[in-house]
Each structure stands twice: as C-alpha cells, then as structure tokens.
Amino acid sequence: MSLLLCRQEHVKRPYFMELMGVHLYSSQELSYVIFNHPALVLDDFVDERLLTFLREELDKGFLALKLERWLKSGENPDEALMIILQECDYYSMAEVGRFRQMAAALRKKHPADFMRTKADELFSLRQYGRAVEIYRKLLEYPESEQVDAQFMGRVLHNLGSCYARMFQLDKAFEAYENSYRKNQQDVVLEKLYDLSQIDERLVLGEELQDEITEKKQEIWKQRLKKAREKAKESRQVKELEGLFRQDTVKRQAGEAEQIYKWKTEYRNMA
C-alpha cells in the first residue's frame, strides 16, 4: 500500500500509440502500455518517434540517449523496453523482472503464434481492423506442425468475430464457415446459426444445416432470444429510449451526439 509520486510532465504533443488508437500523456501511461501489452511493443516500438517524445515532451533526454546508444550497440533490443520501465519508475524492479520473463516467453513462441497473440491482444482492445490485418496475414502461412488445421480454425474464428463486431456480417459468416470446415466446433456453428437468424441474406448451406440437430437448434434459439431480451434491457438501450421520449430539440441534439460517439467508436475499432 502506497502512493506513487508523479513527476510533473507538461506534455503538449502526446505520443500516439497507433496500434491501440490512444494518445499517451505521461511516462506512467507509457509504462502501463508496455507492461500490459508486451506483444504490441516488442517489435520496432522504440523508434525515433518515441525517442523524440521522451526527449521533448517527457523531458527524459538522458533516457532517450541511453536507448539510442543501446539500440546502436546491437544488444538485445527487447532490453530497451526494460530500460524504459526502470527509468520511468512506475513498476518495481520485481515487476520489471516479471516483464522480462514475459517478453522472453513471447520471443520463444513460433512466429505465427506470436502474431496470433498480437492480433488477439488487439481484439481484446477492440482494435478489430488492425486485428483483421494480422489474422489475414496468418492465413497466408504455409501449414506446418505449429500452423495446423486447428490453429487456422481458431484464426478464422477470431477473424469472423472481428468482422461481426464491425457489423460486416457477410464476411463474418464466410470466416466462420471456413473455420467450421477446419475444426468442426459447435461454438462456431452456433455463431453461424445466430448470424443466419440476424441477417436473412445469410443462409446456411445444406451441409451445415445437416449438422444442426433439432435439439441444438432449440437451445441456440433460446439463447439468442435471451441475448436479445438482455440487450433490450441494457443501459444503452434504455438511454436511447429515454432520448426518444424527449422533446424535438433535445432529442435532435442527443441524436447528433450519439451518432458522433458511435462514428468515433467505429472509426477507432475499424
């Protein structure tokens, strides 16, 4: 239990963390991103743009110089991240040690597995557009011991989920179909069924329909119904309903605000 004292950092031009779609305003935020999302920062994160941010905005010229020299020395570039964590004083030495182990574990992964971890990380951060790019690249990987049908099935499933969250339902349907062909998982089939119920243009092929027993269909139907009811009762829907009950002026202002919010959110994720 303690309070960390924050140094005064008067950042005028924040660092844009492209992969996450966020601006970073302090050394603590920078440390947090590095520590919590190692897969996103292991490759080419420490570059001239970051050094300029450290030097000019965070007033950490000495750290920037140290990193510059480290990168030129040809030593393990991952160590540059530990140097940042140590100098920014947000994590303890024990935590920096833990990060070193995490980074080493990631490096030991097969390149395809590492890429998938990165894409999964982006998916969890709702960066679906960026995750799609990586999943699609993974599909070009030649099959091997590590990159087998099961692996590809999972990649296709996650790709489908990305598309679904971006409301590109036809692409999602196609990805789930391909995923099902690879690993025949019920969870994927259920998603295909759900999509066909949500969008009538998406029709399950005969081959897939044969896989769905009446019992399964009944369970999934119930689940979808419950999900729809739950969505109806959600805070966001209630807020929207409330907005529509307001007078024209307030409603229009609220609509404009809501649409702007959705657009921004969508642009960020796609």
Residues that bind another protein (CB under 8 A): 1-6, 8, 14, 22-26, 28-29, 32-33, 89-90, 92-93
Q: What is the token pair recorded at 170?
A: 């036809």
Report the nearest approach of another protein to the CB of residue 268 (Å).
Answer: 10
95 or 148: CB nearest another protein: 95
As measured in angstroms, the least distance from the Cβ of 24 to another protein is 6
Give the DSSP letter of residue 180: H
68, exposed or middle or buried, with CB in 10 Å at 0-12, 13-18, 19+?
A: middle
Cβ contacts of residue 109 below 8 Å, gap of 6+? 117
Q: Residue 258 in contact with residue 265, Cβ under 8 Å?
A: no
Tally of CB atoms within 10 A around 65: 13
Pick between residue 1 and residue 249 the one whose CB is nearest to another protein. 1
Q: Do residues 135 and 155 make contact, with C-beta atoms less than 8 angstroms apart?
A: yes
- CA 261/CA 60 separation, integer angstroms: 35
Instruction: Between 89 and 255, name the residue whose CB sits nearer to another protein.
Output: 89
Q: Smallest distance from the beta carbon of 233 to another protein, in angstroms?
A: 22
Residue 11's CB is within 10 A of a number of other CB atoms, namely 17
Closest to another protein by CB, 29 or 194: 29
Residue 34 CB, shortest distance to another protein, in Å, is: 12
Least Cβ distance, residue 242 to another protein (angstroms):
21
Closest CB to another protein among residues 96, 162: 96
